Structure 1
Amino acid sequence: MSARTASWLPLSPGERAVAIEVLTHGPLSRSEIAKRLSLSPGSLTRLTKPLIESGLLVEEATTAASLRQGRPSQPLDIVAGSQNFAGFKITGDAVYGVVTTLRSEIVARRSEPLDTHDPEEIADLLHRMTTGFQESFPCLAGIGIGVGGNVRHRATVVANAFLGWEEVPLAEMVEGRTGLPVVVDSDVAALIEAEAWFGAGRGLDRFAVLTIGAGIGYGLMLGGRLVRTGEDGHGVGKRWIINANGGPLTPEGERGSATALLTIPSICYQVRAATGRDVTYEQILAAAASGDPLCSRVIGEAARALGTLVAQIANFAMPEKILLAGEGVGLADVAGGVVHEAILANRHPMADPVPLETKVSDFHEWARGAAVLAIQVLVLGTNEG
């Protein structure tokens, strides 16, 4: 990202901490902000005064009920609609785009099919989609882009198997076309950041996300920061072995791996190999729910694999919550009992219950995650992930 990056500047670290707390948890009373940040009333007054004067924070109207109860303090909030951000999710088949508010609420969405994987042509398409969004939202503050694969410095796509890309400076290409600050990251990282700031992981110290779809994604937030490793975006699911002695043999992934057992392409491949028919993932789930023997077996095996993965994450990362997300988590609804049995079978009998939440994420939801990357750059004043 270039030096043109917009940000909440100039803000002191204390002022920024107050603003972020209100953004992610507000509206909040002054006493609640002081408690959350361990500030004295005097320090909070000193920090909030310039934020209110600049219009970054606003005082909500005091209700008649609060006046009657002797609490005239006005809660502080952010004007969520004061700024908008574009987010894009690039798959092998299409580009999905959204516009969000400062609090990541989606206010516009669109998608465009891909008939090419050429980086220059896709950058042109992102430019056209951004221009289309600007007709209704002329003052976009930034662009976030999520891609499957490994990304360096939130700017360059190092490798993307779905697009066949290597060393593509996507942020620079799109920024040059749009004139807006651009941040690029793996789609899984973007989704996790969105959930940590505005969703299931908000306020948690240890939060894990497992995504199921075309591939397997995993991420862990510790102390409010995403744990980064060298293998990010390189397909951890292919080597995450669940059943070393069995499981389906599929074109992708080792036998018995999370990829072979759980991904949508693998599940569809298994049914097609057994029946000779092309069926969609949704059709397989519906058939399993209605008792079809073959589909029930495939989905049941996938559900046991999912429960095993969840238990392994809980055993070793000890998160306060695990979020299951992605287009493939519908199997948890169809075979939730099997998932739960597998979790129990792989946990100590005295272990605490696994705090598990599921969220079916379509591609526009992934694009929303990318928009949150742009929000973070503005709010934090840095492009460091």
Structure 2
Amino acid sequence: MSSAAEETGVAGDWTSLDGSQQRVAVEVLRHGPLPRAELARRLGLSPGSLTRLARPLVDSGLLVEGTSDVHARTGRPSLPLDVRPSSRRFIGVKITGDALFAVVTDLRAAVVAEHETPLPGRAPATVVDAVAGVVARLREEHGEMAGLGIGIGGRVAERRDVTSAPFLGWQDTVPLAQRLLAATGLPTVVENDVRALTVAEHWFGAGRGLHSLAVVTIGVGVGCGIVVHDRLVEGAHGAGGSIGHRSLPGWAICAEGHRGCATAVLASGAITAAVGQALGRPVTYDEVLELARAGQPAARRAVTDAGRALGLLVAGIADLVDPELVILTGDGIGAVEIARGELDAALQESQDPMGPPVRVDVRPFPFTEWARGAAAVAVQAHVLGPAAPA
């Protein structure tokens, strides 16, 4: 017998699920396909309760039954449950100071299309118009979307309002989700870009299946996304994970006047400024890395000092959060390749000697991966509700 969803080609509605059904569907989305026995074990349900909860989800097409396996102990066939990733599509947009990086993804945040365009200006109205134009183009090319996610450098409150965006020059609160909803008609969520990337890694990436995770990014700025007890840390004012001005050994001063903070030591601009001053000429970050590889003293010192500082920063996060995994990324991550020894040594020396070893994974993500993070936040909002980080 075919279900209504099979006849119409449209899967069931996530927003209509009650709490127990939502737990079943989200568990399958994040970790499926799952045999029913494993799904019941994960959720602490009896086989009968799981059957009762799963039947309407299958009938509606929200969940689908996979290929039959034979249960090892009973010999009875077991049909794994899964979602249909292609049943929903989402747009994710990473906003930088001069460009928009956009992706279209499926329900598991797998990228099916990419788009990049210059940002014509940094005023809020200009940014909204530019994002709306990208959204219109992607909908025309790839069909209707279930939601829009935005990743932006700065502070974001309740996944709606941008209260600060230094790289865009925004100092007053901008109700960005509301404005983009009005401009596009799509349910819209906005998140700090590092936390959005953390959501993608937690639900669908290297952190899948982990209950604690930290993502540390270095580049133009320094950021951190933290997952504790399987939930993303947002903070009371949308500032969870703000480590850019955490004190580290160093003499340099950041733009806010902090001596030796993470930004003053680790940001790409701080590193190029230090090397440029030593050489008596401007240098790019890529040039600094090349000079460091070649053994140029000033560049080598700046990069190895950054590696050691990053190790100290990771040690502090590890002692505070005790994550199962720390992911290092960002457009400044090339320094780690050169200074990995200094990073590891500082981490080992500085971490609580009684604590467990820290698993560190270096991943040089492109900006499209950050856009995928924004799409993952839109997926999360679609299945859990817009103000429910997990």
User: Normalising by the residue count of structure 1, what TM-score does the alignment of the two structures yield?
Assistant: 0.91
Quote the residue 2:360 is aligned against: 356
Match of 1:261 among 265, 287, 309: 265
Q: Is 2:54 the counterpart of 1:48?
A: yes
The runs of 5 or more residues in structure 1 that have no matched partner are 1-5
Match of 2:36 among 13, 30, 36: 30
CA drift of 1:115 comes to 3.0
Give the match's secondary structure for 1:270.
helix
Q: Within 5 A, what are the aligned runs for 1:106-255? A: 106-165=111-170, 166-230=172-236, 232-233=238-239, 236-243=242-249, 246-249=250-253, 251=255, 254-255=258-259
1:110-159 CA distances to partner (integer Å, 9 max, x unpaired)?
A: 11112311211211111110111112221100101111111222112111
Match of 1:335 among 327, 339, 342: 339
CA drift of 1:25 comes to 0.7
CA change 1:53–1:60 in 2 (3 A) is same
Counterpart amino acid of 1:46? R
Measure, in 1, the Cα distance between the counterparts of 2:224 and 2:118: 27
CA change 1:59–1:169 in 2 (3 A) is same
Counterpart amino acid of 2:127? I
Poorly superposed stretches of 4+, deviation over 6 Å: none
Q: Is 2:377 the counterpart of 1:373?
A: yes
CA change 1:319–1:287 in 2 (3 A) is same
Give the match's secondary structure for 1:351.
coil
Q: Is 2:299 the counterpart of 1:295?
A: yes
Give the match's secondary structure for 2:159.
coil
Q: Which moved more, 1:316-325 or 1:222-231?
A: 222-231
The runs of 5 or more residues in structure 2 that have no matched partner are 1-11
Measure, in 1, the Cα distance between the counterparts of 2:283 and 2:263: 19
CA drift of 1:275 comes to 1.6
**Could you tell me whether the CA contact under 8 Å between 1:207 and 1:222 is conserved in 2?**
yes
Match of 1:9 among 9, 15, 29: 15
Measure, in 2, the Cα distance between the counterparts of 1:331 and 1:365: 20
What is the alpha-carbon root mean square deviation over aligned residues? Answer: 2.2
Measure, in 1, the Cα distance between the counterparts of 2:363 and 2:350: 23
1:72-99 CA distances to partner (integer Å, 9 max, x unpaired)?
A: 2121111111111001111111111111
Q: Is 2:82 the counterpart of 1:77?
A: yes
**Could you tell me whether the CA contact under 8 Å between 1:85 and 1:142 is conserved in 2?**
yes
CA change 1:203–1:277 in 2 (3 A) is same
Quote the residue 1:312 is aligned against: 316
Q: Percent identity?
A: 45
Quote the residue 2:387 is aligned against: 383
CA drift of 1:192 comes to 1.5
User: Normalising by the residue count of structure 2, what TM-score does the alignment of the two structures yield?
Assistant: 0.90
Counterpart amino acid of 1:119? P
Give the match's secondary structure for 2:90.
strand
CA change 1:234–1:55 in 2 (3 A) is closer
